[in-house]
Structure 1
Amino acid sequence: MAKVSVLFCSLYVLVLTSYSMAMTEDQRNIIRQHFREMGMKCMNDNPITAEDITALKSRQVPTGPNSPCFLSCVLKLTGMMDSNGMLQKETMLELAKKVFNDPEELKLIEDYLHSCSHINGEVVSDGDKGCERAMLAHKCMVANAAQFGFDV
Structure 2
Amino acid sequence: MATLRRWNTGSKGSLFDRLQNDQPRLKGDAAFILSVKNNLRHIFNARPGECHGTKELGIIDVNDALLSTEEIQSSICQSIRHCIARYEPRISQTQVVVRQDPITFTYYFSVIAQIAQVYDVERIELDIHINNNKLEVI
TM-score normalised to structure 1 length = 0.29
Q: Greater relative contact order: 1 or 2 (C-alpha under 8 angstroms, separation 6 or more)?
A: 1
User: Which one has a larger percent strand, Structure 1 or Structure 2?
Assistant: 2
TM-score normalised to structure 2 length = 0.32
Larger Cα-atom Rg? 2
